Amino acid sequence: MLAFLLLAVLSVGGLVVRQSSLRYRAANAADAAQGKAPAFSWPAYFSWLRKRGREMWTKKTLSRAWAVLKSWSTDHYPGPLGWAFAGLVASFLYQAASGLAFAFFVPRGMFGLALLAHVGSGGLFALSLAAVLFWRARDYGPGKTGSSTFSGFACPVFKNLSRSEVGKMAFWALAFFGFIQIATALGSMLPVFTFRAQVAMIGIHRYSALALLLSALLFADVVFLPPPKKYGDTSLICPQKWTDK
């Protein structure tokens, strides 16, 4: 359990730092190009992060974010599918919050009404994910959306992934780990698997949930959050020195 908690902290924290540091680089790129400031420095980054954080958690920003999300979902999930998307997001948010909260703060594990709601929202998650996948999977196929402009994501390892490609990967990762979540939850309810298998399924469920959370964070960053206007589709993901161009 300690390993899981450490991994959760490091991976989620690492991803958040990674994505935000890239945005910082993009925001700082002009000054860096003119030599007014280094391309990246940790103190400057944290200062920028604090400032952005304060700006984000204002009523104005939150309502703007809600409007963006709403308009995005209306565009991409019109009609009844919007409900499926809303259900997916709501159920995921609750499950992530309850799962993390109990994992970190309650050694006994999830219990009580929280567990009941967690399991119940799991059903909603399963149905809405199936609906979303069924109707929208095609849109996340290769070459379907976005430009083919390449720019490294997991640089310096992968150098030629565009933002839209990363979004697709995040989508399919979401789908895959969501499937694992549903399968392990369902498996533990069936009188088929032995106790050892039950224990293993709980472990898989836990780590898969973490992977699902990371995929969702990446998806949200790449798909929902607008890129820095100045740099469009490029260089958001990867610092300029690692791009091909």
Is 198 a binding residue for another protein by CB under 8 A? The answer is: yes
Is 142 a binding residue for another protein by CB under 8 A? The answer is: yes
Could you tell me how many residues make up the chain?
245
DSSP string of 53-106, one letter each residue: HHHHTSHHHHHHHHHHHHHHHHHHS-THHHHHHHHHHHHHHHHHHHHHHHHHH-
Total binding residues toward another protein, as defined by CB under 8 A: 40
CA distances from 176 to 59, 169, 171, 184, 240 (A): 35, 10, 9, 12, 32
What x-and-dash track marks residues 169-188 binding another protein by CB under 8 A? ---x--xx-xx--xx-xx-x
Is 194 a binding residue for another protein by CB under 8 A? The answer is: yes
Is 3 a binding residue for another protein by CB under 8 A? The answer is: no
Shortest separation between residue 212's beta carbon and another protein, angstroms: 13
Shortest separation between residue 189's beta carbon and another protein, angstroms: 6
What x-and-dash track marks residues 91-110 binding another protein by CB under 8 A? ------------------x-
Structure tokens at 156: 């310096």
Is 80 a binding residue for another protein by CB under 8 A? The answer is: no
Side-chain-facing half-sphere of 145: CA atoms under 13 Å: 16
Please, where are the H alpha helices in 106-194? 112-136, 163-189
Give the Cα separation of 157 and 13 in Å (integer).
Answer: 20
Query: Residue 144 is which amino acid?
Result: K
Is 134 a binding residue for another protein by CB under 8 A? The answer is: yes
Residue numbers at the binding site for another protein (CB under 8 A) = 109, 111-113, 116, 119-120, 122-123, 126-127, 129-130, 133-134, 137, 141-144, 172, 175-176, 178-179, 182-183, 185-186, 188-195, 198-199, 202
